[in-house]
């Protein structure tokens, strides 16, 4: 009935894993920081971004000037590194991007600028607690507090209206994205390689939600009232393609999904369909309708 084998059931009920352990095992592998944030010597109220060689980006000063970095404090007391990229002069939307595992803002910075330029959107991103220049330790509760911090900064510091915000989550980043989207209506939501829940990744035959599960996105999806685009590679070896299909089927306002044939977990962006679908989202799916 529940999809688990007898041995798996015995394991769960005799020594059920706590959500924190599931989260730590599946999700959090913060890399050695690839950037630093320091006070601007010419203006102590501003901060400067310094990328290390590990960020692997040969940027010029004009490109670097498009980045604004600062710290914001989460409700759990952690100092969260935030990044706002003005990729275009007249953005149609600003994307709140929650990145995947094992990367930080420094490693993502070149991708953010390139993506924003190509789809005519600004990008706002942040590092999870314990990642990059953010303080604290990675945890499920911190994930939710971290994205709340980013959301509040977008709304108050930059005055961006919810209808002009697209929430984008990739892999583990879909967890806080779904949580936020279940509480606020926005322009759209993009879920790139989403997972149903932590336990369903660890035990693929799990068919129901358990009280000790972590990242229960599948149970929050029905609460999302914004348009949702699901993207998943059919050969994903980390989060099985079936997760993306299940998430898509539960979305009340699902858009035409992007199933990238042959793509795995970390190469979806290399397929031409990826950028084409995002451009279609911005210019067609979310285009204002004439009355």
Give the pLDDT score at 23.
53
On whether residue 291 sits in a domain, the answer given is no
On whether residue 290 sits in a domain, the answer given is no
Tally of domains within the chain: 1
Phi-psi region of 231 (alpha: psi -120 to 50; beta: other; left: phi over 0): beta
Distance CA 23, CA 139 (A): 7
On whether residue 98 sits in a domain, the answer given is yes
pLDDT tens digits along 116-143: 999 999 999 999 999 999 999 999 999 9
Give the active site residue among 236, 240, 243, 280.
236
Give the pLDDT score at 16.
46
- What is the pLDDT confidence band of residue 155, given thresholds at 50, 70 and 90? very high
- What is the pLDDT confidence band of residue 233, given thresholds at 50, 70 and 90? very high
On whether residue 152 sits in a domain, the answer given is yes
Distance CA 69, CA 48 (A): 7
Please tell me the pTM assigned to this model.
Answer: 0.90
Q: What is the mean pLDDT of residues 43-58?
A: 90
- Structural domain boundaries, residue 65: 14-285
Residue 151: give its domain's CATH number.
3.40.50.1820
On whether residue 2 sits in a domain, the answer given is no
Query: Could you confirm whether 163 is annotated as catalytic?
Result: no
Query: Could you confirm whether 265 is annotated as catalytic?
Result: yes
On whether residue 118 sits in a domain, the answer given is yes
Give the pLDDT score at 211.
76
Distance CA 109, CA 77 (A): 25
Instruction: Provide the pairing of β-strand 43-51 with 67-73.
Output: unpaired
Give the pLDDT score at 44.
78
Q: What is the mean pLDDT of residues 62-74?
A: 96
Give the active site residue among 74, 98, 171, 226.
171
pLDDT tens digits along 241-259: 999 999 999 999 999 999 9
On whether residue 254 sits in a domain, the answer given is yes
On whether residue 132 sits in a domain, the answer given is yes
C-beta of residue 223 within 8 angstroms of C-beta of residue 251: no
pLDDT tens digits along 8-38: 444 444 444 445 555 555 568 999 999 999 9
The percent of residues above 70 in pLDDT, for the chain, comes to 90
- Site of tokens 């942040």: 126
């Amino acid at each position: 009935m529940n999809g688990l084998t007898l041995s798996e059931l015995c394991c769960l009920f005799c020594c059920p894993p706590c959500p924190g352990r599931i989260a730590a095992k599946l999700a959090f592998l913060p890399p050695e920081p690839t950037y630093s944030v320091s006070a601007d010597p010419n203006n102590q109220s501003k901060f400067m971004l310094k990328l290390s060689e590990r960020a692997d980006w040969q940027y010029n000063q004009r490109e670097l000037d498009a980045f604004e970095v600062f710290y914001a404090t989460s409700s759990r007391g952690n100092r969260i590194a935030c990044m706002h990229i003005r990729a275009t002069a007249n953005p149609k939307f600003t994307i709140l991007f929650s990145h995947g595992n094992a990367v930080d803002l420094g490693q993502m910075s070149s991708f953010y600028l390139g993506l924003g330029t190509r789809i005519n959107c600004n990008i706002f991103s942040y590092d999870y607690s314990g990642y990059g220049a953010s303080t604290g330790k990675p945890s499920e509760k911190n994930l939710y507090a971290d994205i709340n911090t980013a959301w509040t900064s977008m709304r108050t510091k930059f005055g961006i209206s919810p209808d002009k915000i697209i929430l984008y989550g990739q892999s583990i980043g879909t967890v806080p994205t779904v949580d936020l989207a279940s509480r606020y209506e926005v322009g759209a939501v993009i879920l790139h390689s989403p997972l149903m829940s932590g336990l369903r990744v660890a035990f693929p035959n799990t068919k129901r939600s358990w009280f000790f599960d972590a990242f229960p996105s599948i149970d929050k999806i029905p609460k999302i009232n914004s348009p949702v685009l699901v993207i998943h590679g059919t050969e994903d070896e980390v989060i099985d393609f079936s997760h993306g299909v299940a998430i898509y089927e539960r979305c009340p306002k699902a858009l035409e999904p992007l199933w990238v044939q042959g793509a795995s977990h970390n190469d979806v962006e290399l397929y031409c369909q990826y950028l084409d679908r995002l451009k279609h989202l911005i210019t067609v799916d979310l285009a204002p309708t004439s009355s």
